[in-house]
Amino acid sequence: MARRHVLGELRALRLEPALADDVVLMVSELATNVVQHATRSQDGQMRPPAGAELWMYRRIASSQHELLVAVFDQSPERPYRVDSGAVGLDSEGGRGLMLVDAMARGRWGAYPTRSRLANRLGKVTWFAVPMPHVRLNEPEPWERDTVEAGKVLRTLLSRRGFGSILLRACPESGLAVLSVATGLTVWCQAGHFRWRGPGGQRRAPIGDVSAVAEEIVHLHVTAARPGHHPA
């Protein structure tokens, strides 16, 4: 099912056939990893992959557009990848992520986050591929209005479990400020979102609102983990 869904979306994007095939194969590997590992109970029995989700969205990285594909599951355990030299010819364990690592050229990872559909805690495993020749649609109206972009971000974060997000808007100056949580504020002005993370000031185009929401959720979930001390 994941393969059919992704293939349909990639055809709509008119992604190059060879790249589309690679994406479909990597999605299949991530989905298989969820079924084989994230759905195993403590007694070793398999259970249905409740809460598993497949996400795809465009983002801008290093001044180029790329497609980010991610699979969410409720297991807190990080996926593991083994080196090619440590895997026997007849071994299956770890080969899926080894393949993803090679095909995505290292552009993959995993981290704790919340579900998009049901506000569940878990993790996401993702990969990204460039979109060099894809014709993008015209920007949405809210992408030209920072106040409206702030409202879109607030809606996305509310769906991920943030209860009370205070939005202050000043249309005259084209500024929107979102108080997401204690110590976590996002500014939207001059076509960009800005916020502060452990590594310092972060900045992203308002067209990357899905990626921004994901990073804010990850930042909040990570900061709330026991023993974690944000920089």
The pLDDT confidence band at residue 216, using thresholds 50, 70 and 90, is very high
Predicted pLDDT of residue 71: 92
Predicted pLDDT of residue 32: 85
Could you tell me the pTM of the whole model? Answer: 0.79
CB-based burial label for 228 (10 Å; 0-12, 13-18, 19+): exposed
Alpha-carbon span 36 to 203, nearest angstrom: 37
List, for residues 11-50, the tens digit of each pLDDT value: 888 888 899 999 999 999 998 888 776 555 555 565 655 6
In the numeric block, the tokens 């992604």 are attached to: 15
pLDDT at residue 229 is higher than 50: no
Alpha-carbon span 176 to 155, nearest angstrom: 14
Distances (CA, A) of 200 to 154, 191, 230, 231: 22, 20, 11, 9
Residue with the larger pLDDT of the pair 53 and 51: 53
Share of the chain above pLDDT 70, in %: 80
| Closest residue by Cα to residue 126 from 193, 45, 42, 61 | 61
Angle at 200 between CA 161 and CA 219, to 5 degrees: 20
List, for residues 137-150, the tens digit of each pLDDT value: 667 788 888 889 99
Q: At what angle do helices 146-158 and 209-224 cross, to 10 degrees?
A: 50
pLDDT at residue 91 is higher than 50: no
Predicted pLDDT of residue 96: 83
The token pair that represents 183 in the structure block:
């110590």
Predicted pLDDT of residue 2: 66
Across the chain, mean pLDDT equals 82
Predicted pLDDT of residue 137: 65
Mean pLDDT of 85-98: 58
Share of the chain above pLDDT 90, in %: 38
List, for residues 54-79, the tens digit of each pLDDT value: 999 888 876 678 999 999 988 878 77
The answer to whether 95 touches 87, Cβ cutoff 8 Å, is: yes
Predicted pLDDT of residue 16: 86
Q: For strands 166-170 and 108-114, give the pairing.
A: unpaired
Predicted pLDDT of residue 89: 39
In the numeric block, the tokens 């465009």 are attached to: 58
Residue with the larger pLDDT of the pair 81 and 103: 103
